[in-house]
Amino acid sequence: MKQILLIKNGEIALKGLNRTTFESILIKNIRRRLKPLGDFKIERAQSTIYVEPLSDGFDMEEAVNRIKKIFGIAAFHRAWAVEKDYAAIEAAAQECFSDILEDASSFKVEAKRADKRFPMDSPAICRELGGALLARYPHLRVDVHQPEVTVTVEVRERAAYLHAGSITGAGGMPVGGSGKVLLLLSGGIDSPVAGYMMAKRGLEVGGIHFAAPPYTSDRALQKVETLGEKMSEYCGRIPFFCVPFTKLQEAIRDHCPEEYFTIIMRRMMMRIASQIAARDRFGALVTGESVGQVASQTLQALCCTDAVCDLPVFRPVIGMDKSEIVSIARRIDTYETSILPYEDCCTVFTPRHPKTRPQLAAVEAAEAAFDFAPLIQRAVEDTAWKLLVSE
């Protein structure tokens, strides 16, 4: 018997007139993620998307893993496709759900008859199949309000589909069509989570990383790229910018007071990210900052960083504890990569006593000691670009 996937979209259903646009984006995303697994066909009807494998080698387990990571899906089912004949439906239900029904104490049958030519109506299907399953599994009780197992029969154009039990989807909105944001991606725990959260709301995410060779190594950069690839399972392909940041950091070290190193460095990052964002039409910047986490993330420090940005800066983890961020990082499988102990440019030239409550005027005065503009320009021009994607 053949299995197919029945996908129920989530919040998209609320989108009124835009619904078909969002659905088309979701289908495109599903196609892209499942393509490496073999041939399949996608159809949609009444806010359900049907994915039917066509090639023999199609790896259903892997398809399920991938679908779980696509935003815009509330829940989905692995369903059995059965001939549209009541006897066949009953036999299939007895066979396919024996494990589930043996372990359950209550159940109900739900039927949806989209093909009105099918001779039994929905209540009749429920009655017949419910009775047959009760006879076969006498320990079961029918509970129409809170059943442990719901056996669903959908009679459609080409076949009847049977499923019992649904798989929770990633929720959110399908990525694409809502604009794109540029994430400052370090090798740490917080920024991949921040990117994941923005993608969940349907935004495309690009990554920008500041590298300071030889103070930071190739391995450190590789780690960031690995993080981007892992994120792409949720976010889709990630355009990735790598900024050569060494000269700027050295200039800050040579010309600015030590207590302002970090805050000035962060302002330089934001200036460069803003220019690249404006050039490539990103609508906002995103960081993994959380209030009070470190000296550069106090309220005053965040204000000093924002002061150099024209675009909005989104900080989706701003109010989260580290432990909350870590639990998301574990769930999306970026945590183990993030904790690899490679250096980041933020840990180069760190001041012994950073200003925790920097005043904007003082920071601007400290910066004025040197003309950073040519170095900023140079860093933007020399920024490398590539696409990060997990196949």
Task: Report the interface residues with ligand ATP, using CB under 6 A.
Answer: 184-186, 188-191, 209-210, 287-289, 293-294, 344-346
Closest of 268, 348, 278 to residue 308, by C-alpha: 268
Q: Tell me whether residue 75 or residue 318 sits nearer to Mg ion (CB atom).
A: 318
Binding window for Mg ion (CB under 5 A); candidates: 50-58, 188-196, 233-241, 328-336: 188-196
CB of 9 to Mg ion, least distance (A): 33
Rounded to whole angstroms, the Cα distance separating 94 from 153 reads 13
CA distances from 243 to 132, 154, 221, 226, 280 (A): 66, 53, 11, 17, 15
Q: Which is nearer to Mg ion, 52 or 190 (CB)?
A: 190
Give me the least distance between CB of 190 and ligand ATP, in Å please.
3
Answer with the entry of ligand ATP, Mg ion, none that 210 interacts with (C-beta below 5 to 8 A by kind): ligand ATP
> Per rule CB under 5 A, is residue 204 in the interface with Mg ion?
no
**Please, which residue, 120 or 291, has the CB nearer to ligand ATP?**
291
3-state SS track over the chain: CEEEEEEEECHHHHCHHHHHHHHHHHHHHHHHHHHHHCCEEEEEECCEEEEEECCCCCCHHHHHHHHCCCCCEEEEEEEEEECCCHHHHHHHHHHHCHHHHHHCCEEEEEEEECCCCCCCCHHHHHHHHHHHHHHHCCCCEECCCCCCEEEEEEECCCCEEEEECCEEEEECECCCCCCEEEEECCCCCHHHHHHHHHHHECCEEEEEEEECCCCCCHHHHHHHHHHHHHHHHHHCCEEEEEEECHHHHHHHHHHCCHHHHHHHHHHHHHHHHHHHHHHCCCCEEECCCCCCCCHHHCHHHHHHHHCCCCCCEECCCCCCCHHHHHHHHHHCCCHHHHCCCCCCHHHCCCCCCCCCCCCHHHHHHHHCCCCCHHHHHHHHHCCEEEEECCC
- The one of Mg ion, ligand ATP, none whose footprint includes residue 180, by CB under 5 to 8 A per kind, is none
- Residue 110 vs 190, nearer CB to Mg ion: 190
Tell me the residue nearest to ligand ATP as measured from the CB: 188
CA distance 10 to 166: 13
Tell me whether residue 154 or residue 190 sits nearer to Mg ion (CB atom).
190
Least distance to ligand ATP, CB of residue 305, Å: 9
Cα distance between residue 49 and residue 76, in whole Å: 9
Residue 12 vs 185, nearer CB to ligand ATP:
185
Among 190, 204, 225, 367, binds Mg ion (CB under 5 A): 190
Nearer to ligand ATP, 105 or 347 (CB): 347
Q: How far is the CB of 199 from ligand ATP (least distance, A)?
A: 15
CB of 388 to Mg ion, least distance (A): 20
- Which amino acid is residue 212, in one-letter code? A
Residue whose beta carbon is closest to Mg ion: 190
Residue 344 interface partner, choices ligand ATP, Mg ion, none, CB cut-off 5-8 Å depending on type: ligand ATP
Q: How far is the CB of 188 from Mg ion (least distance, A)?
A: 5
Q: How far is the CB of 278 from ligand ATP (least distance, A)?
A: 17
- CB closer to ligand ATP, 134 vs 348: 348
Q: Shortest Cβ distance from residue 347 to ligand ATP (Å)?
A: 8
Smallest separation, CB 114 to ligand ATP (Å): 48
Beta carbon nearer to ligand ATP, 199 or 346: 346
Q: Which does 390 bind (CB under 5 to 8 A by kind): Mg ion, ligand ATP, none?
A: none
Residue span 136-165 as binding mask against Mg ion, x where in contact by CB under 5 A, dash where not? ------------------------------
Query: Binding residues for Mg ion, per CB under 5 A?
Result: 190
